Structure 1
Amino acid sequence: MLVPLKWLRQFVDYNVADQDLADLLSLSGLEVEGLQRRHQGLELVLAAKVLRVEPHPNADRLHLVTVDDGRAEHVVVCGAPGVAPGQIVPLALEGAVLGELTIKRARIRGVESRGMLCSERDLGLSDDHGGLLNLDPTTPLGAPLTEALGLETAVMEISITPNRGDALGVLGVAREVGALLNLPVRDIDCAPPEDDQPVAALASVEIQAPDACRRYVARMVRGAVVGPSPLWLRDRLAACGVRPINNLVDVTNYVMMERGQPLHAFDHARLAGGRIVVRRAVADEPFTTLDGQQRKLQEGMLLICDAEKPVALAGVMGGQNSEIEAHTSDVLIESAFFEPGGIRRTAKALGMGSESSYRFERGVDLEGCAKAADRAAQLMAMLSGGRVCAGRVDAYPRPYQAPAIAVSAARTSALLGLPLDVAAIKRPLEALGLSVEAVGDDSLTAWPPAARTDLERPVDLIEEVARIIGYDKIPVSTPCGVIGGKPRAREQLVRERLRDLMTAQGFDEAINYSFGHPDWPDKLRLAADDPRRGAVAMQNPLAEDQSALRTSLLPGLLGCVRRNLGHRVADVALFEVGKTFIARPDNPQPHESMRLGAVLCGLAQPVSWFAGEAEVSFAHIRGAVEYLAEAMGLADPRLAQEGPRPPYLEAGQWLAVLVGQRRLGEIGLVAAQVAADFEVKKPVYYLDLDVDLLVQLTPERGQFRHLPRFPEVMRDVALVVDEAVAAGEVLAEARAWGGKLLREARLFDVYKGKPLDKRQKSLGLRLTYRADDRTLTEEEIVPDFEAMVGRLVERFKAALRA
């Protein structure tokens, strides 16, 4: 719904800013979607009086027009016909913007023109370019054109909910504004001047479907002359998004936008017998609407007919056989109330919604039909020179009876959380037009007006009280309640975090049975005294290969690898988080340990022309565990060949995962014979971590650190060491002796070959230094760097590689 604000002020004299009014309406339930500004650029178009009109010395069709805008005289070159002294015309001064044209001082055929005299088309008001726009002779000189013509410059776009049909007119919005601001709302005197001819002698109305048409009011205007509407009416219709047509049709649209009551104008001469008959259509009855389309109607659709034929589809669209034409003289005005559900079904079935059906579907003011017809007759007589017939035909078989709704002050206060008495409830209801009568100290009875079809129950009135008082006045209180459930245990959170981190690295999760074959410990080459040989036997196993609880995740994961390879899925990256079970001689319940196991096999990435085929290697499984350690925030993690080697991992191809002095797990290449026993013929790398220990070693929450503000400094060093020296030990020593400014130490190169001895290798280390509060200088880095290099040389009997 587009509401021009100057038009709104004709009904309620409010004194708040446009945006404040929009916010107030939005808070009350009429959501304002935006404020539109119209006729921008016309601020420098002023009313000016023509003083002299002289011929142009160098052009036959141009004139030199001297005009006075109340402040100064201007000479303007003008080619419009009919310019004469004494006229008041629009003068666009330098800087005025007319559409895409910006007015500038210019020389036209050798004469300087200081501005432009404008037609309606120049101003964007219509397509008329036959001459200058002549303003009212009483218009003050220098008045801005928007004020001189009363143009609608500000329009509010309101989203109307389906239950608020009363707000689909400027008057309805004005009532809302008046109630919110406690201001009186003034209506217009709609009584038209009437002649002596009674309308009952020229027209009659018969309602054959009173359940679908509760009221039908008809008025007559005779001797009307069809022509264009005045500028003020065309501008208001355009501001509402309605295209002007002619003065008679425009009046019906104007009244609809003003009062929310759809109207229709019939050419009375084309109505057989001057009769109006409201009846239901029969199945497949043909009817041609105003858009020229013939439609087959469904049984029960409501029709407006004359004595012989249908002339309109009630509440939706008029008929082509009774529309207003250029020679129309006598007009019959329809103002009716049609049952909303029927109009909604008809418009939807035919796919032809209109501004009229939009309003009828939501319910119009049953008691306002007569006043809307009077207003239309008044405007038609004023704009077309016609005469209004005396009286009106008003078929009203079942007059409106307002429902009596009882409201309790105690219940209202309880629902809104506000201490309200009967007087406090009565004021906003009366402001909205309800008749209210107090009944005792705690209750009242209210009768809503016919326009408020949405008010049916006590809670509806309580909502109206809340809207007018203001939702922002209702105190905010937090409801008290006990939410069931407990937060998830930290062990669960760590396991979920591990799953996310493994998935992020490209691993897929496997879920295996918790039981398997009892010969798995033999296939893993476990020592006789290894606790993992203590498998728990199942009392009622499903099969022999599922008769013992697992003591390791590796057999199940190798089985997954075998199945994938058997289905020609050669590249496998799987992980599993699950429990292992180890029997205890002194306890009938086994020891349960949560483990993380992962396997890698095949290519590290898909084959491509630029990367070729790259098999997974020890570096990939090592990178996986280093990524987990960093992401989980483990303190001082390291990888080294310390402690006993797991028998199922290849010698020299394994590392223990250590945090401080505690062993978290192992990584390595599965021994070829072990893999063969599980029918896997390709290299498989394995990761095994103790999740229960990981839960203990993982900090409860991370510590936030700002991104570095100062640049880092990097130094590289290449050390020649014995081939048996582990790179991880060298890195750990570098981190321990690197100084407080060392942020990172990592291995970036390993070299073997000439000119090195066969039993030697070169390790390339990259050291990163950074301070949090300054840019480092060379003098600050060199002492720590040299001390660390000296320590590495001494500890590992290393030599610096040239």
Structure 2
Amino acid sequence: MIVTYNWLKEFVDCDLPAAELSHLLTMLGLEVERMEELGGGMDDVVVAQVLEKNQHPNADKLSLCKVDNGKEILNVVCGAQNFKAGDKVALAQIGATLPGDFKIKRSKIRGEESCGMLCSEKELALSLESAGIMILPEAFKLGTPLFDALGTKDTVFEIGLTPNRADCLSVVGIAREIAAKLGKKVHYPGLEVAETGAPIDTIAKVTIEAPELCPRYTARHITGCTLAPSPAWLANRLQAAGIRSINNVVDVTNYVLLEYGHPLHAFDFTLVAGGKIVVAAAGEGEKFVTLDGQERILTASDLTIRDGEKGVALAGIMGGGNSEIGEGTTEVLLESAYFNPSAIRKTSKRLGIHTESSHRFERGTDVAGLTRALNRAAQLIAELSGGKIAKGIIDVYPHPVEPRVIKARLARINAVSGLSLNAAEVQDILERLEFEVKQPEPGVFQVRVPLFRVDLEREIDLVEEVVRLNGFEKVPATLPQASVFSDLPSDFQRLAARVKDLLVSQGLSEVINYSFVAPASCEKILLSADDVRSNGMVLLNPISDELSVMRTTMLPGLLDTAVKNISFRTLNLRIFEMRRIYLPAPGKELPEEPLYVSALLTGSRDLEGWNQQKGEIDFFDVKGIAENILGELSIPNVSFSAESLDPYYHPGKACRILCGNKVLGSLGELHPTVQENYGIGTPLYYLELNFEALLASRKGKGAAQVPSRFPSTFRDIAMLLPKELPVADVLYCVKGVKAPELEGVEVFDVYTGGNISAAEKSVAIRVRYGSKERTLTDDEVTRLHQRVTDALTKKLNVSFR
């Protein structure tokens, strides 16, 4: 919010130096981010008079002038042509510094000496545009500093407001704060509206079809207006606040917006069909052209202002090009309304439009102050344009809003703040803020909060107001007292940390992605519409449209991370993430939030080096990582199945991880289409484990096994089995033989082709036998081995080679 000191002083008597006022505002919670003196340091720009204006002897487009600054006659070269001898002008003398750090020096221009510069309004930052140098009133005294003569010396304060302080998005609001702090009264403008036109109810009509989005709508009608440039005082005020002057009618609406903090809109009433205004939701897909010339596609949730035929404004945000004030406008309908903040915020964000109007409506305006702003604007428009104001106001207010009443306790105020205020002091502070205060019993306040303070809802808010007005510097500085203790991590936290450490030890790097993803992410990883993970929870107020759905799998986030790294030529990736996902729970409002650990790998298995063998990461690297995690957590009876795979896996190159009938996760190469959707040309390998399912499947703590002191014996078996039979079934069959002497089994060869039929494959396994009590004899090993081969023949019907 930008305000000027002179403007504030019109509403509150304040003679503090600008620096002290800046400190006072900051200590009230209205942080002054910038303070700039208008005309400060520019006393070398003075009122002067052109005595002679002659053609420059060496340039057709330049004039050589003799200028009187009240002390001496100076030669000045000037390129403007909008002045004549005898005019009073603004002269920047040698040594002056103009806005933009432009220093005036004695110089020669085309061979003629120039001892200064005749200035335009733009060069002095008094206007955004100017057609030539400033021509000053004849009454101005020569040699007077220009800004003193114009009466425009001022100080601009740029105040950084927190979103809750919507009441201070106005000069009146900030003046109200200063007055409350200094114990003074606010001087509100006198509102004397001369109603000389016809009754307004014979001219216009307003209907609200969406009262939940527009609780109140007021309007005035002004006819006989003459559009013209705004007077200097008005244009300068707007210029100081960073708003371009347009014309006297539009400028008044902007002026009152800054003064009262309530947006208004002026319609050319001759363009309003049927003479009526209807506040209603837009039609789905309706097209509307706003004042900036952009065509907007609206939805049924957008609120519009309509006439008898069409939309004429996007409510609370921007007017339409089909009803704007322009050349030839003589009849104005002035709108002052209250719109639902969340509705305005939603439309503004969706359409990407942020205006001074939407900025205020989004935060909440004063529903009780509509008519004050309306009357103030109508008064100024009639005064500046010569128009006549119709008798009466249209005020559609079907359900008046009552001010909020909050109970506050003196004991609570002092306990929270550490102060020792009495009841009279607290009541005085609250009344200075224009609150109505009653004490139904000693030490208890019933505070009726005015509607312009939309941020005050609870007792603690009133505590803050008391502390703020009393002075933050008066709050005693004390150290907080608290018992410090440390909780030991839970088993869940300890095991999660172990899994992370294990993954890092295997060369993986942890990443952290957003918990929300793009709506199209499920399609990119090939999840069907009927998959529960395709129905993620949609955020009501997302950061952006690309981050608007809670993730149901961590794969999209990891893929986005991979894409970004690969684009920077980081081609060898080993990343993991251990975070929660959000799965819709049928019949429940909130989702389930299981903890998952997921990893994504691609590129070379080893770092490049002269002694490294080149090899690409494959399925078995990822499977090894999964087996290490399962082993670390002591999960028994783990099996792998290639059935019922998720669609984002490559068929035949992925598997699910099971513990009995419970699914623990899955791993494998991603489907080529997924890689194509993300623009990645190298194979990607993915692992995901449900950490909570892992912990539920643990058996014991996985105590270390003492190795045997006696040697083991190995026997190999080569067999033929159907090609589609998983080798894992062979290992499960061998492990199923109940014998304590059977210590382990592993596959050491798989062969297809050659003299092996196309329907079969050759598999060789090595079985290890041993005892912790003695060395086994050959006969004992042979009998054990026979039990193993019998089990393979009986259960899997394999043939031995």
What TM-score do you get using the length of structure 2 for normalisation? 0.57
Q: Deviation of residue 273 (structure 1)?
A: 1.6
Distance 1:437 1:33, change over 3 A: same
1:294/1:76 CA distance change after superposition, 3 Å: closer
Counterparts of 1:37-186 in structure 2, within 5 Å, are 37=37, 42-50=42-50, 52-56=51-55, 58=57, 65-78=65-78, 80-81=80-81, 83-84=83-84, 87-98=87-98, 99=100, 101-107=102-108, 112-126=113-127, 128-151=129-152, 154-186=155-187
Instruction: Report SS of the residue matched to 2:467.
Output: helix
Q: 2:12 aligns to what?
A: 12
Q: CA deviation at 1:330?
A: 1.3
Cα distance in 2, alignment partners of residues 54 and 349 from structure 1? 58
Cα deviation per residue 1:394-415 (whole Å; 9 max; x = unaligned)? 2222334222222222222222
Aligned twin of 1:311: 312
Q: Secondary structure at the match of 2:419?
A: coil
Q: 2: CA distance between counterparts of 1:445 and 1:384?
A: 46
Partner of 1:718: none
- Shift in Å, 1:344: 1.5
Q: Say whether the 8 Å CA contact 1:155–1:239 is kept in structure 2.
A: yes
Cα deviation, 1:390-447, whole Å, max 9, x if unaligned, reads 3322222233422222222222222212112221011111111112233343222221
Distance 1:227 1:466, change over 3 A: same
Q: How far apart are residue 464 of structure 1 and its match?
A: 0.6
How big is the shift at 1:140?
Answer: 4.2
1:289 and 1:63 mapped to 2: Cα distance? 46
Residues 358-369 of structure 1: pairs in structure 2 closer than 5 A: 358-369=359-370
- Residue number in structure 1 paired with 2:2: 2
Residue type of the alignment partner of 1:83 = F
Counterpart position of 1:355 = 356
CA distance in 2, matches of 1:115, 1:484: 74
User: Superposition pairs for residues 239-388 of structure 1, below 5 Å?
Assistant: 239-388=240-389
Kept in 1, the 8 Å contact 2:53–2:84? The answer is no
TM superposition shift of 1:12: 2.3
Quote the Cα distance in structure 2 between the aligned partners of 1:463 and 1:127: 41
Structure 1 residue identity aligned to 2:269: H
- How far apart are the structure 2 equivalents of 1:225 and 1:171? 29
Distance 1:311 1:63 in 2: 51
Alignment of 1:760-799 (within 5 A): none
Letter in 2 for 1:318: G
Structure 1 range deviating more: 14-23 or 365-374: 14-23
Cα distance change on mapping 1:135 and 1:185 into 2, 3 Å:
farther
SS, match of residue 347 in structure 2: helix
SS in 2 for 1:344: helix
Which residue of structure 2 lines up, in the alignment, with residue 228 of structure 1?
A: 229
User: How far has the Cα of 1:167 moved from its partner?
Assistant: 0.7
SS at match of 1:346: helix
* Equivalent runs, 1:365-514 vs 2, <5 Å: 365-484=366-485
Q: Aligned partners of 1:138 and 1:186: how far apart in 2?
A: 32
Using the TM superposition, give the Cα deviation of residue 466 of structure 1 relative to its aligned residue in structure 2, in angstroms. Answer: 0.7
| Number of residues of Structure 1 aligned to a counterpart in Structure 2 | 500
For 1:6-54, what per-residue CA distance to the aligned partner results, in whole angstroms no more than 9, with x for missing partners? 322222232334343333323322233333455666331112344x335
Residue 360 of structure 2 aligns with an amino acid whose one-letter code is: R
Tell me which moved more, 401-410 or 477-486: 477-486
What SS is found at the alignment partner of 1:456?
coil
- Return closer, same or farther for 1:41/1:476 CA change in 2, 3 Å cut-off: closer
**What amino acid is aligned across from residue 11 of structure 2 in structure 1?**
F
Where in structure 1 are there 5+ consecutive unaligned residues? 488-507, 510-605, 609-802
8 Å contact 1:247–1:380 — kept in the other structure?
Answer: yes
CA displacement 1:475-494 (0-9 Å, x = unmatched)? 1222333323699xxxxxxx
Query: Aligned to 2:277, what secondary structure does the other structure show?
Result: strand
**1:406, 1:165 → 2: CA distance?**
23
Q: 3-state DSSP class of the match of 1:404? A: strand
Amino acid paired to 2:93: L
Residue of structure 1 equivalent to 2:35: 35
The amino acid that maps onto 2:44 is: L
Is the 8 Å Cα contact of residues 105 and 115 (structure 2) preserved in structure 1? yes
Tell me the equivalent position of 1:613. Answer: none
User: Could you report, residue by residue, the CA deviation over 1:555-582 in whole angstroms, capped at 9, with x for unpaired residues?
Assistant: xxxxxxxxxxxxxxxxxxxxxxxxxxxx
Deviations for 1:119-147, whole angstroms, at most 9, x for unmatched residues?
22333434655443123344444332233
Measure, in 2, the Cα distance between the counterparts of 1:219 and 1:152.
35
Secondary structure of 1:320's aligned partner: coil
1:5 touches 1:152 (CA, 8 Å); kept in 2?
no
TM-superposed CA distance for 1:173, in Å, is 1.2
Residue 630 (structure 2) aligns with? none
CA distance in 1, matches of 2:202, 2:174: 38
Matches of 1:347 and 1:426, distance apart in 2: 40
Tell me the residue number matched to 2:25: 25
> Quick one: distance in 2 between partners of 1:459 and 1:485?
31
How much has 1:186 moved relative to structure 2?
1.5
Tell me, in whole angstroms, the C-alpha distance in 2 between the residues paired with 1:451 and 1:333: 21
Deviation at 1:380, TM superposition (A): 2.3
Where does 1:661-740 land on structure 2 (aligned, <5 Å)?
A: none
CA contact (8 A) 1:4 1:152 kept: no
CA-to-aligned-CA distance 1:624-669 (integer Å, 9 cap, x gap): xxxxxxxxxxxxxxxxxxxxxxxxxxxxxxxxxxxxxxxxxxxxxx
How far 1:364 moved relative to its partner? Answer: 0.7
Separation of aligned partners in 2, 1:284 and 1:61: 56
The superposition leaves residues 430-471 of structure 1 with CA deviations (integer Å, 9 ceiling, x where unpaired) of 111112233343222221112111122222212111110012
CA distance in 2, matches of 1:65, 1:189: 48
Q: How does 1:206-217 map to 2 (within 5 A)?
A: 206-217=207-218
Q: Deviations over 1:82-137 (max 9, x none)?
A: 53565432111112233464323345566644322222233343465544312334
Deviates more, 1:172-181 or 1:385-394: 385-394
Question: CA 1:345–1:108 in 2, change beyond 3 Å: closer, same or farther?
Answer: closer
> Shift of the alpha carbon at 1:172?
0.8
Q: Is the CA contact (8 Å cut-off) linking 1:287 and 1:296 kept in structure 2? A: yes
1:26 match: secondary structure: helix
State the TM-score, normalizing by the size of structure 1: 0.57
Question: Counterparts of 1:333 and 1:183 in 2: how far apart (Å)?
Answer: 33
Contact map agreement 1:209 1:279 (CA 8 A) in 2:
yes
CA change 1:220–1:196 in 2 (3 A) is closer
Q: CA deviation at 1:473?
A: 0.6
Specify the code of the residue in structure 2 equivalent to 1:53.
Answer: E
The list of structure 1 runs, each at least 4 consecutive aligned residues, that deviate by more than 6 angstroms after superposition, is none
Indicate conservation of the 8 Å contact 2:409/2:443, yes or no: yes
CA RMSD of aligned residues (A): 3.5
2:33 is paired with a residue whose SS is strand
Where 1:451 maps in the other structure, the secondary structure is: coil
Once residues 24 and 120 of structure 1 are traced to their aligned partners in structure 2, the CA distance between those partners, rounded to angstroms, is 33
Q: Distance in 1 between matches of 2:247 and 2:181?
A: 37
- State the distance in 2 between where 1:398 and 1:382 align: 34
Deviates more, 1:163-172 or 1:275-284: 275-284
Q: Which residue of the partner structure matches residue 639 of structure 1?
A: none
Residue type at the aligned position of 1:13: D
Residue identity opposite 1:264 in structure 2: H
Q: Could you tell me how far 1:349 is from its partner in structure 2? A: 2.6
- CA distance in 2 between counterparts of 1:468 and 1:15 reads 19
Shift of 1:77: 4.2
Contact persistence 1:193–1:388 (CA under 8 A) = yes
Q: Name the aligned partner's letter for residue 223 of structure 2.
A: R
| Larger-gyration structure (1/2) | 1
SS in structure 2 at match of 1:213: coil
| Counterpart code for 1:125 | L
Q: Deviations over 1:574-607 (max 9, x none)?
A: xxxxxxxxxxxxxxxxxxxxxxxxxxxxxxxx98
SS in 1 for 2:135: coil
Higher deviation after alignment, 195-204 or 269-278: 195-204
Letter in 2 for 1:388: I
Match of 1:785 in 2: none
SS of structure 1 residue aligned to 2:288? strand
1:201 aligns to 2:202 (yes or no): yes
AA of the residue aligned to 1:28: L
Structure 2: which 5+ residue stretches go unaligned? 489-504, 507-608, 612-801
Shift of residue 198, structure 1, vs aligned partner: 3.1
Report the Cα distance in structure 2 between the residues aligned to 1:208 and 1:227, rounded to whole angstroms.
36
